[in-house]
Amino acid sequence: MNRFSKGVTGLILMCYAFSALGQKATRVPLEKENLYPVNREIQLAFDKHKGSLVQVNALNNPGVVWINNLNFKSGSIEFDVKGRDVLQKSFVGIAFHGRNDHSYEAVYFRPFNFNAKDSVRKSHAVQYMALPNNDWPYLRKTFPGKYEAPVKSFVDPDAWFHVKVEVTDQFIQVFMNGDESPMLKISPLEKSFNGKVGFWVGHESNGTFSNLVITGGQWVKK
């Protein structure tokens, strides 16, 4: 490798290093004044293992618990979540790039499909969607198998699991329980922009959330 090539390589590595340093991880306090529920009621609790909890009740139609004063474009979103093993009544995940209560991207899970014996159901364990134009029925019919995936190993559908969603302009990757490889990797269906982040639950679904950590976002405490 000549001197010029070494210099270019060093410059590239320095850029990556500065980029990584600029990605600040923020643990968002799960306090009442930081949360704005839409079509849901919430209760705050504390667990000696998980810390602060946000418990979301079940109602008809989807609901979101937005995080006040948080803007997110790219980086990562991590959280712990617990659903339940009840067929068609446990859809839990995260909404991001929210422009309003009906326009956002989301990644969510169907715990009742985690260990399904039916291979079709099992393949529908995790789902990406981009509302309002790319809801899950349209994506499944038009792009079967592209925007959803199975879990890679046994996961108790009634237990806590950890989620990491990495978001860039080119890709959205979903990791579960510390796996090194993503269970889902897709190109986003919306142009990346700053937007809201919130805990998401589906029709007739409740859920419990904890340990929200945002990297690359901007949360302003007021």
Give the model's pLDDT for residue 63. 98
Report pTM: 0.89
Secondary structure letter of residue 135 according to DSSP: -
CB count within 10 Å of CB 100 equals: 11
Average pLDDT over residues 168-179: 96
Q: Where residue 10 falls among pLDDT bands split at 50, 70, 90?
A: very low
Q: Find the CATH number of the domain harbouring 171.
A: 2.60.120.560
pLDDT tens digit string along 189-212? Answer: 998 788 999 999 999 999 999 999
pLDDT tens digit string along 134-169? Answer: 999 999 999 999 999 999 999 999 999 999 999 999
Residue 5 has pLDDT above 70, yes or no: no
In a 10 Å sphere around its CB, with 0-12 CB exposed, 13-18 middle and 19+ buried, how is residue 157 labelled? buried
Domain that includes residue 50, residue range: 25-219
Residue 13 has pLDDT above 90, yes or no: no
Query: How many domains, the chain?
Result: 1
Is residue 1 classed as helix, strand or coil in its secondary structure?
coil
The answer to whether residue 74 is domain-embedded is yes
The answer to whether residue 14 is domain-embedded is no
Residue 132 has pLDDT above 70, yes or no: yes
The answer to whether residue 17 is domain-embedded is no
The answer to whether residue 128 is domain-embedded is yes
The helix (run of H) or strand (run of E) holding residue 163 is strand 161-167
The answer to whether residue 10 is domain-embedded is no
Residue 93 has pLDDT above 90, yes or no: yes
Residue that wins the pLDDT comparison between 98 and 11? 98
The answer to whether residue 4 is domain-embedded is no
